[in-house]
Structure 1
């Protein structure tokens, strides 16, 4: 078990998820602060979160996939895109990064402008059940967008996944802020809740986003655009075997390329 966990650990990807979530939570929560000159607006908060995630997808997407969200990571496992071990390390990185980002912002911000510090909770008379439903629907549309915009099998003009995903986050906030403050991301909700000690109705922002992400995964990966993978192939991915084989194959190719560089007769003459 320990060996499997170690094989699933990728330091660069772990750091990318940690730092990416740290920055996302820092700038996102920062847009909710109540500065004396002007209160935060729905548009300001929505576009800060959306531009933040779009920027980070562009920045670390090629390193870790830029999940930055435990709900997305769980959906990726369910769709057999990553291994169990990789998912575990990603979620740990996301939670640590979120808490560090929220903690830094809390320390850097004057007490009088922290306000509610971006805590997610039902508002405007929204019941816990209604809040849960909203979080399910908002995360559903986000994760569907993630799967669709990053699907390498598509041959049409997909455009920029970073922009598409960022706009999906904006869309969620434009509606969700009025109901729950809009989470769609357990790490984003957990971080300020831990820093302030306010866990009122906190279950909504784990169960809701994860449920929405699971539904999106089932719809996209098993109904809309199923992958041609057998049960054994899916199991190999979840156990990390295919990732290990791909890594070995990449190293083998690099070794072959290096040997050809030094062993080719023409190269010897040049040397």
Structure 2
């Protein structure tokens, strides 16, 4: 039992620094803010460009705020991909996903009752258009999840030295691109927690499974490809012959100096 407890990361629940709980709270508030931004944007009309940039900016701002605390997942598909690639423990992944879903539902609930009497344009934004089959919708969401997770893995690769804000911008732009290219066909879910919040508040559960399976399996595929193929392993620097000679000369001179000091 103790082996399973520690290998799954459940010891994090009892850590004295409360890092797991602080990170989970950050994920909760990040998801809440993101859904407030998204809900307010979606309620203002059908302009796909406006929605795309609103979502991208929302992702950017939320990641800047909470990224250094929790990693800025704010998306169950991201958390599952990080779990598969062994970047988070099972305990952390479970708590993150619960926090993301709860924060998303609360955020959509708040914005719905704040603006329900004012805007009535497009609350049900995550839906397949008439000529898109469930298989096509699943493929689109798979592709969106795949591209999003590839961007995240590349942005936060330990071998890169990008600034945190630059990483957040790359992820926000990826979300913007996803909405610009596929937003009209499926609503560009990409984030199962966001879609869950809309379904829970407005009761629109049509093809809801697409918005979970697509991004999650797309993220898993991205994790496998990036870790196995695209990730650059840190290689020890090869010392050239000239460098070896200079190092040898330097060491010899240092030995001479030490011997002279001993003689004096």
TM-score, normalization by structure 2: 0.79
Q: Structure 1 residues 99, 227: CA separation in 2 closer, same or farther (over 3 Å shift)?
A: farther
Which has the greater radius of gyration?
2
User: Which ranges in structure 2 are unaligned for 5 or more consecutive residues?
Assistant: 14-19, 235-264
Q: How many residues align?
A: 224
Query: Quick one: distance in 1 between partners of 2:165 and 2:122?
Result: 37
User: Which ranges in structure 1 are unaligned for 5 or more consecutive residues?
Assistant: 229-271
Q: Is 2:51 the counterpart of 1:45?
A: yes
What is the SS of the residue equivalent to 2:87? coil
Q: Which runs of 4+ in 1 moved over 6 A?
A: 156-159
Contact 2:157–2:231 (Cα < 8 Å) also in 1: no
1:177 pairs with one of 169, 176, 183: 183
2:21 pairs with one of 1, 6, 11: 11
Query: Quick one: distance in 1 between partners of 2:75 and 2:50?
Result: 21
2:151 pairs with one of 133, 140, 145: 145
Contact 2:39–2:112 (Cα < 8 Å) also in 1: no
TM-score, normalization by structure 1: 0.77
Q: Is 2:120 the counterpart of 1:110?
A: no
Shift of 1:114: 3.1
2:90 pairs with one of 74, 84, 87: 84
Contact 1:120–1:180 (Cα < 8 Å) also in 2: yes
Shift of 1:226: 6.4
Shift of 1:227: 6.0
What is the SS of the residue equivalent to 1:31? helix
RMSD of equivalent CA atoms: 2.1
Contact 1:69–1:91 (Cα < 8 Å) also in 2: yes
Query: Quick one: distance in 1 between partners of 2:165 and 2:121?
Result: 38
Contact 2:124–2:202 (Cα < 8 Å) also in 1: no
Shift of 1:124: 4.3
